[in-house]
Amino acid sequence: MSKKILAGLALAFGFAASANANLLVNGSFESNILASGGWTYLPASSVAGWDGSNIELWNAKDGVFAADGVNFAELNAHPAAASFSIYQQFATVAGQNYDVSFYYRARASSAEAFSVSVGDMAASVTDHTTAGWSFFAGTFKATAALSTITFTSLTSGTVGNFLDGVSVTASEVPVPMTLGLLGLALVALGLRRRA
């Protein structure tokens, strides 16, 4: 098989892989550098990709290690508020299905809770444990060209609701891309037979 065909196939498969890439920026809260055992709180605007209330970032503090990478976020951050919300807006295709997933953990009490909403999905997460990370996975349908994922604490005070590894990916590769990959594969096979 020629180098041009191999390069074309690599490019096509690269596009297919990018279709399943995380659509969120900084879903694991790694953009801010923290020393191991450290923590800080920042306005959400100082944490790449996120907006909303303050975000508290931790790195291997008090025996809690990240589920993904080294940093993780605490939704209930400084200062005290009735509720905290962080959110991120990202490009979607109206009517298309997307997968959303993230890790969550209680900081101090199994009574901690938060809600997550995106597209046509809204859920309350109330099954926290301090013993380790839990994993949430769901699917939503985008209702517009821009979607917003929002996490809102349902627990008052500044202690609770660790988050990490937040991800949104397309549930399926769009049909035009699938047909394009099929066409490229057929061309490659045809050229190979002529060689």
Q: What is the pLDDT of residues 88-134, one digit of tens each?
A: 999 999 999 999 999 999 999 999 999 999 999 999 999 999 999 99
For residue 108, count other CB atoms closer than 10 A to its CB.
Answer: 13
Task: Quote the CA–CA distance of 151 and 163 in Å, as a whole number.
Answer: 9
Cβ atoms of 66 and 32 within 8 Å: the answer is: no
Q: Which pLDDT value is given to residue 1? A: 54
Q: What is the pLDDT of residues 20-66, one digit of tens each?
A: 899 999 999 999 999 999 999 999 999 999 999 999 999 999 999 99
Mean pLDDT of the chain: 86
E-strand spans in the chain? 38-42, 51-52, 55-59, 71-74, 85-91, 97-105, 114-118, 121-125, 134-141, 146-153, 162-170
| 49 three-state secondary structure | coil
Q: What is the pLDDT of residues 154-192, one digit of tens each?
A: 988 889 999 999 999 999 765 555 445 545 555 554 555
Nearest Cα to 128, choosing from 102, 149, 148? 102
CATH topology of domain 23-169: Jelly Rolls (2.60.120)
Residue 114 backbone zone (phi > 0: left; psi -120 to 50: alpha; other: beta): beta
Cβ atoms of 54 and 77 within 8 Å: the answer is: yes
Nearest Cα to 39, choosing from 15, 63, 5, 21? 63
